[in-house]
A and B are shown apart, each in its own frame.
Chain A
Amino acid sequence: MSELNDELTDIFRDDAAERLNQMETVLLAIESGDAPDAGAESVDSLFRNAHTIKGAAGMLGLDDIRALAHAVEEVLAGVRDAGVFRPELAAPLLRATAALRAQVAGGAGAGEPVAGLLDDLAASKATLAHGEAGAAAPAAAAAPGPGLPGPRMPGPRMPGAAGSAAPTAPEPDVTGTTGVSGVLGASDVPEATLPDQDARAASPDVAMPKAGGRPLRVPAEKIDRLLDVVGEVMQYRGRLAHSLGGQSQLSQDAADVLTGSDRMLDELKDTAIGLRTLPLEVITRRLPLAVRDLCRAAGRDVEFVVAGADTEIDRVILESLYQPLAHLLRNAVSHGIESPAERARAQKPSRGRIEVRAVPRGSLVEVVVADDGRGVSPEVAEQARQEGSLGDVLARAGYSTAAEMTDLAGRGVGLDAVKAYVRSLGGSFEVRSEPGQGMQVVLLLPLALALLEVLLFQRGAAVYGVPLVAVEEVVRVTQTLTLEGRRALEVRGRPLPVADVAALVGATAPRLGHKAAGLVLSAAGLRAIVTCDSVLRKEEVVVKPLGPLFGGIEGYLGATILGDGRIALLVEPALLTRAARRAPVLTGPAGGRSAEASPAGESRPGAGAGLAPAQTPKILVVEDSFTVRELQRSILEAAGYPVVTARDGRDALAAVGADPEIALVVTDLEMPELDGLELTRAIRADKARSSLPVVIVTSHGSEEDRRKGAEAGADAYMAKQGFDQQALLAIVERLIGR
Chain B
Amino acid sequence: MSVYVRLRVSSEAFAIPVEHVLEVAEFGEVTAVPRTRPEMLGVRNVHGQILPVVDLALLLGIPSTAPPGRLLVAEEGVRRAGFAIEEVSGVGELGDPTAETVSDLLAGAIFGDGDLIGVIDVPRIFSLLQGSGALPGPAAPPGARVPQDVEAPQDAEAPQDAEAPQGARQ
Contact indicator B34/A506 (Cβ below 8 Å): yes
In the assembled complex, which residues on chain A have CB atoms less than 8 Å from the CB atom of B142?
Answer: 400-402, 405, 413-414
In the assembled complex, which residues on chain A have CB atoms less than 8 Å from the CB atom of B29?
Answer: 566
Number of A-B contacts (CB under 8 A): 153
Contact indicator A397/B81 (Cβ below 8 Å): no
What's the Cα separation between A340 and B54 when bound, in Å? Answer: 55
Closest Cβ neighbor of A509 among chain B residues: B170
Asked if A621 CB lies within 8 Å of chain B CBs, one says no
**Interface residue SS majority, chain A:** mixed
B147 to chain A, nearest CB (A): 10
Known contacts A549-B81, A597-B157; is-contact A416 B145 (Cβ 8 Å): yes
Contact indicator A591/B164 (Cβ below 8 Å): yes
Question: A243-266 vs B: 1/0 string, CB under 8 Å?
Answer: 000000000000000000000000
Query: Which residues of A538-571 are within 8 A (CB) of B?
Result: 544-553, 555-556, 558-559, 561, 565-567, 569
In the assembled complex, which residues on chain A have CB atoms less than 8 Å from the CB atom of B79?
Answer: 547-549
- Kindly identify which residue among B50, B129, B131, B135 contacts A561, using a CB–CB cutoff of 8 Å: B50
A227 to chain B, nearest CB (A): 15
Known contacts A549-B79, A559-B43; is-contact A420 B170 (Cβ 8 Å): no
A286 to chain B, nearest CB (A): 14
Closest Cβ neighbor of A507 among chain B residues: B34
Range of interface residues on B (Cβ < 8 Å): 35 or more
Contact indicator A591/B163 (Cβ below 8 Å): yes
What's the Cα separation between A4 and B52 when bound, in Å? Answer: 29
A580 to chain B, nearest CB (A): 15
Asked if B45 CB lies within 8 Å of chain A CBs, one says yes
Asked if A36 CB lies within 8 Å of chain B CBs, one says no
Contact indicator B132/A326 (Cβ below 8 Å): no
Contact indicator B146/A397 (Cβ below 8 Å): yes
What's the Cα separation between A63 and B29 when bound, in Å? Answer: 51
Asked if A323 CB lies within 8 Å of chain B CBs, one says yes
Stretch from B1-9, B60-68, B85-93, B148-156 at the A interface = B148-156
Query: Which residues of B70-103 are within 8 A (CB) of A?
Result: 78-81
B36 to chain A, nearest CB (A): 6
- Kindly identify which residue among A320, A506, A561 contacts B160, using a CB–CB cutoff of 8 Å: A506
Contact indicator B50/A417 (Cβ below 8 Å): no
Contact indicator B164/A552 (Cβ below 8 Å): no
What's the Cα separation between A548 and B33 when bound, in Å? Answer: 14
Asked if A589 CB lies within 8 Å of chain B CBs, one says yes
In the assembled complex, which residues on chain B have CB atoms less than 8 Å from the CB atom of A163?
Answer: none
**Interface residue SS majority, chain B:** mixed
Q: Which of B48, B142, B152, B167 has the most CB of A within 10 A?
A: B142
Asked if A424 CB lies within 8 Å of chain B CBs, one says yes
Known contacts A402-B143, A549-B40, A550-B36; is-contact A559 B167 (Cβ 8 Å): no
Asked if A693 CB lies within 8 Å of chain B CBs, one says no
Contact indicator A566/B31 (Cβ below 8 Å): yes
Contact indicator A569/B167 (Cβ below 8 Å): no
A side interface size, CB within 8 A: 56
- Kindly identify which residue among B81, B135, B136, B137 contacts A547, using a CB–CB cutoff of 8 Å: B81
What's the Cα separation between A3 and B137 when bound, in Å? Answer: 10
Asked if A418 CB lies within 8 Å of chain B CBs, one says yes
What's the Cα separation between A591 and B145 when bound, in Å? Answer: 26
Contact indicator B136/A417 (Cβ below 8 Å): yes
Asked if A593 CB lies within 8 Å of chain B CBs, one says yes
- Kindly identify which residue among A3, A547, A592 contacts B34, using a CB–CB cutoff of 8 Å: A592
What's the Cα separation between A552 and B160 when bound, in Å? Answer: 17
Closest Cβ neighbor of A236 among chain B residues: B48
- Kindly identify which residue among A402, A552, A597 contacts B133, using a CB–CB cutoff of 8 Å: A552
Asked if B138 CB lies within 8 Å of chain A CBs, one says yes
- Kindly identify which residue among B137, B148, B157 contacts A552, using a CB–CB cutoff of 8 Å: B148
Contact indicator B167/A589 (Cβ below 8 Å): yes
8 residue pairs A–B, Cβ–Cβ below 8 Å = A397-B146, A420-B132, A420-B133, A506-B159, A552-B133, A556-B33, A558-B50, A593-B35
Q: Identify 20 new A-B residue pairs, CB closer than 8 A, beyond the known A400-B145, A405-B142, A548-B134.
A: A320-B135, A401-B142, A417-B134, A506-B160, A509-B170, A511-B170, A547-B51, A547-B80, A549-B126, A550-B36, A551-B130, A551-B132, A552-B148, A552-B152, A552-B155, A559-B50, A561-B48, A589-B164, A591-B163, A591-B164
> CB within 8 Å of B: which residues of A?
3, 232, 235, 320, 323-324, 326-327, 397, 400-402, 405, 413-414, 416-418, 420-421, 424, 462, 503, 505-511, 544-553, 555-556, 558-559, 561, 565-567, 569, 588-589, 591-594, 597
The 4 A-B pairs at the shortest CB distance, nearest first, are namely A551-B133, A397-B149, A589-B167, A591-B160
